[in-house]
A and B are shown apart, each in its own frame.
Chain A
Amino acid sequence: MCLGIPAKVVQIDESDLGKVDYLGTRVKTNFALLENIKVGDWVIVHAGFAISKLNEEEARETFSILREMTEKEALVKKNKKRKKQGKR
């Protein structure tokens, strides 16, 4: 029930009604629960209402933490492998 879908705003009128694009499908959406929404913003849509605007900066930060972590692990593995080979 609390499923929320990230989608891009493609149309919005003065009465806070409009549409979002979700994987190519245009879905009627009510934007009355948010402020200062414009075409091109990313929002979370739940039951026909946009309930939150995505913060791109925060998103990028999370993604870079994840990337760093993976790279770090890859490095650790590589070092382990080298050590092993060194022993032989």
Chain B
Amino acid sequence: MKELRDKKVIRSLLYEIEKRTRELPSSPRIMEVCGTHTMTVHRYGLKNMLEKAGVEMISGPGCPVCITPNEIHEAAIELVTENENFILTTFGDMTRVPTRKSSLQKAVPAGGSMVKIVYSPRESLEIAGSNPQKQVVFFGVGFETTIPAIALTLREALKKSLANFSILSALWLIPPPLRAIVEAKEIAIDGFLYPGHVSTIIGEKPYQFIAEEYGIPGAITGFEPSDILLGISSVLDQIKEGKATVANEYSRVVRASGNPKALAVMEEMLETKDSFWRGLGLIPQSGLKIKKEYSACDAEIRFNLNIKGGSGDLPGCRCGEVLQGLISPPQCPLFVEKCNPDSPYGPCMVSFEGACFVYYKYNPTT
């Protein structure tokens, strides 16, 4: 594995990339869709090295904490502030997202209620089992990487007949927003690095339309620095040859057809719906919800939450534009002074893979 971070390897890859970009008429612009890719690109200083080699990297919408609109975060906050004896469990980043109703971390829960951070959705089941007198709601957020784990947890809860357990879901699919970004035509993208771990679940086929309908090259890419550079090389090769495909540069982990067992449990428990994304708006068939027959475990239905639209951004917050790749974080007037990891104003500064957080942490000028 050490080859993947080896300085010499990285240097040769950058050399190869520069050789290819020199033959192109202009600097290609490549979107790294996944927030974990954004982390690698900045953490290892690849962003600047790639710029010198003639490649412009832009961050995509791949941060589930960031693209979940404030309305859903606010519904979660209300569950614990307005109801007694509620335990809301969720991943750590979710508790710090600022909304019009404060954040899960700062809001004061009603009597007997609390917010608990979990590492795995399954921990929520243990919490529900040992607190039978309380309602336990798992605020489950994620892309295809996380969704099978949440679907399995739901199946297990039903099997155990846990009457006090439900899920408030914010489940997002990666291919639909990519279509939305390409269709919007606000930025020209010459290639995509597709998210490696989402692809372990969905495989190669769901990205085909980008190559076939829009003629844009792309590569499924892993998370080590050399992985990223291999992905970029593959995209540049495709540009040079004038063809567009879905290359798999993470074949040690990703199979062409994905993970059939994970896809089956998603299919069994969940169904698609039109969803509001922060910044990107309403995207048809871009989200998942719990199937009707299991709605007893759907917190939105069980507690009549009636979550609407997606217009609840805080005034002045430009996370929406960051998520579409329209501006880079330093172009937001709030960046650093009014919005930083100690006191975030928007979700992209909260999440460890939010573009603003990553820029703040790894950019030497901040």
Q: How far is the CB of A30 from chain B (nearest CB, A)?
A: 6
Q: Are A48 and B197 in contact (CB under 8 A)?
A: no
A67 on the B face (CB < 8 A): yes
- Across-interface contacts of B11 in A (CB, < 8 A): 73
Contact residues in B for A70 (Cβ distance below 8 Å): 6, 8-9, 12
Secondary structure of the A contact surface, majority rule: mixed
B143 contact from A1, A35, A56, A73, Cβ within 8 A: A1
Q: Does A22 make an interface contact (CB < 8 A)?
A: no
How many B residues, CB 8 Å from partner?
53
A34, A47, A69: the one within 8 Å of B259 (CB): A34
Partner of B353, one of A1, A34, A49, A59: A1
Once the chains bind, are B195 and A2 in contact (CB under 8 Å)? Answer: yes
Cross-interface CB contact of A66 among B121, B149, B226, B252, cutoff 8 Å: B226
Task: Given A69-B13, A73-B15, answer yes or no on A1-B146 (Cβ-Cβ < 8 Å).
Answer: yes
- Residue of A35, A51, A61, A69 touching B201 (CB-CB under 8 A): A51
| Chain A residues whose C-beta falls within 8 Å of the C-beta of B259 in the assembled complex | 33-34, 51-52
> What separation, in Å, do the CA atoms of A34 and B144 have in the docked complex?
15
Q: Which of A40-59 contact B (CB under 8 A)?
A: 44, 46-49, 51-52, 54-56, 58-59
- Do residues B200 and A51 form an inter-chain contact, with CB atoms below 8 A? yes
Instruction: Report chain B residues within 8 Å CB of A4.
Output: 145, 196-197, 200, 223, 253
Cβ–Cβ < 8 Å partners of A39 in chain B? none
Is B65 interfacial (CB-CB < 8 Å)? yes
Shortest distance from the beta carbon of A21 to any chain B beta carbon, whole Å:
15
- Give the chain B neighbours of A44 by CB distance below 8 A: 197, 200, 253
25 CB contacts below 8 A, A to B, read: A1-B146, A2-B36, A2-B62, A2-B143, A2-B195, A2-B197, A3-B353, A4-B197, A4-B200, A6-B1, A32-B261, A33-B261, A44-B200, A47-B120, A47-B142, A48-B122, A48-B123, A51-B201, A51-B262, A52-B255, A55-B251, A62-B3, A62-B251, A62-B252, A66-B9
